[in-house]
Structure 1
Amino acid sequence: MPTYTLFDLQEYIRRVLALNFGEAIWVTAEIAQMSQSRGHLFVELVQKGPEADSALVAQASAVLWQRDYQRLRLSMGNVLDELLVDGREVRLEVRVDYHERYGLKLVITDADPAYTFGRLELQRRQTIETLRGLDLLEKNRALPVPRVLQRIAVISSEGAAGFQDFREQLTQNAFGYAFQCRFFSSAVQGDRLESEMLAALDAVAIQAGRFDAVVILRGGGARTDLAGFDSLALCQRAAALPIPLFTGIGHDIDQTVLDMVAWSALKTPTAVADFLVQHNLFFENEIQGLAGKIRETAQSRVKRNALELTQLETTVRWAMQGKLRQEMQGLATLETTLANLLQQRLLRAHTQLDQAEHLCAALHPDSVLRRGFSITRTAGKVVTSVDEVRSGEALETQLKDGTLVSEFRRKS
């Protein structure tokens, strides 16, 4: 068995690889890490097992030389920079290069953006279907929004220009509305986006009663940076928030899955601030409108009541005058009636007195004596029966023209 020097072995491997991989080939892999030096891009490519938490099954170093980088930038523009990002699944054209001292290296000569963006879109669609199956797409949108939004939980990167724009727009609003914003720091792009934003959402959910709404803000950036907002775990957590979520992640065309589960998705952080201000302005206008209606109703009611009082006053005055006339007429009638009654009563009494006088005159002893009657007395007492007189007793008989004296004798 022959013995090889290390150089001979390495040279043999190089020639074998050169013989079998004489032309560039296309490979798919995930970018684990990338660095730049002197215009060259050094990329660490990996492949994981089929499961989400599988360990690495393959790993290789790759390089994109400056001249090739410039060439690809010229043909692809900014898409190349959006493509070559840590954690991105890529399809690259590589030339297999083996050096006796430095070993295997893949030299990148081209890239396929359609592959990467296609996989991202597939993952996005799968996330949407999963959320739909869990009834989470409309869950946050079904929440009632407070009439006034003032206590705001803000999730963003503290140094992000979008966050500064949002804060300035709120504090300098033309209506003088006051907002209480609580900041929760999170990366808004890169491989730390998901973990940090999940932590921020959890922190907000724990103290949700202290907020009226939560906003997620991000300034401008590459389109592919939005892929982090399509994360299933992130969107599940956001959809389950007990308070309304508003997003302003700074892209005019594309809609992320996070936008879809939010109560409302706005294009920019400034647009979110404008929405909050306009929401409160609408409530104030509504209150002012109600106040105006109440004022108009009160004034109308006062006028109507004043008119009713005037009409009632007139009615009462006329009724009182009519009643007075009626009562005066009644009194006059009563006066006449009383006078007539009094006159009749007096006449009747006068007649009765005359009758009584005539009766008295007729019954007077003198009248009786003149009619032939007499009055017999004994001892000064009028005798009305023979039984009242004893035999031999003296009697006085009064006649109309004098008195007779006699002695009583009982007839046998």
Structure 2
Amino acid sequence: MEPLELFTRREILTVSELVGRLKRLTEQSFDFVWVEGEVSGLRQPASGHIYFALKDQGALLRAVLFKHQAALLRFRLEEGQQVLCQGRLSVYQARGEVQLVADSIEPRGAGALALAFEQLRRRLEAEGLFDPARKRPLPELPTRVAVVTSPSGAAIRDFLHVLHRRFARVAVAVYPVKVQGEQAPGEMIQALQDLAAWGWPQVIVLTRGGGSPEDLWAFNDEGLARAIAACPIPVVSAVGHEIDVSISDLVADLRAPTPSAAAELLVKEGAELLRRIQAVAARLLRAGRRLLSDRRRDLRALARGLGDPRRILADQRLRVDDLLSRGMHALQAGLHGRARETWRLRGALWASRPDRRLAIIQARQRDLAFRLAAAGQGAVQTPRARWQALAGRLQALSPLAVLGRGFALVQDEQGRVLRRAQETAPGRRVKVRLAQGRLGARVEEVEP
């Protein structure tokens, strides 16, 4: 008989093992779920992934939308949005958190396309891209038009039919692009850049026929809107039917409800143009006649004010002759005066005799040189005699001179000069300075 085990065997798990089992159980049980909630804690780092949380009144669930799925969103996630997320539950093992790995997100209420359109519209409007003051005027009668559209669609046929019916002398260049699908915005942006670099078109028409909102969505691309705003050539947007409004329509310099309407807005009918030309010609003719009449009237008034030109010319000739005569007399008088002044200066120059003046100057120079030498010699000898006299007096008063006459200078050991015998005592040493040399001596006797 087997022994009875009172306690069950314990299974001890590590944290990683427990969280791993929870992860596998969660992913198997909730591999496809729809979750509704409010977006909270939204952030999108440089990796491109979108991290957020879904919350309601009772709970909060972490969620992530990876980069490749985020690129497919039709709208921009915003804080506080009510959304419906489809995905699978998982457990983030590093923190042991349950999170929703979203595959798709839909806004609650308005559709995703409508919400994306409204978000982009508000953002571009805030930047001023819809401002009428920014938009460029179209030429009155363009003769070179570029059309960016699908070459096989009905839009280009309708546009060309109406354009050439109204005015045949318009050159049209068609730039073929895709007008729906993921590649359509990039191709249309490239078309605008190429046409701007070419510089040939006076107007660019961006057009396509009608379709569903999904079919027309390429014309709501943000990059395309900015390319239209940056294009130096005026752009006409004619997308879909009259009820279809796209971001391209709002940014373009002119919005046409249909491709046919775009052609009608670009050019006037031939008959209407002819009437306008005739009206302008008639106004020019009337203005020219009125201007000519006014100029003739002004000319007659000027002629009356001027008088007879022949008489005026004769008076001017007499005045010129008088001025010439007075000028000649003044010139002759001036020449005579200059001649007299010249002869006077020549006489003064002859009288001054430069050679005589040079001799006088040389004599004065020699005299000054002699006086300067004499003064210099006296100035040197006088200070020298004074210096010699002072030196003799200084020599007579010098103690050394007294010593030279047989006297001596006696000093004690501290160098003090002894003037009386009482200033020393027998046995002390003294120093005796003679005219030449010194003596060291000892006092033997002192006589006061």
TM-score band, normalised by shorter chain = 0.3 to 0.5
- Higher RCO (CA 8 Å, separation ≥ 6 residues): 1
**When you count strand as a share of all residues, which structure comes out higher?**
1
- Give TM-score, length-normalised by structure 1: 0.47
- Give TM-score, length-normalised by structure 2: 0.43
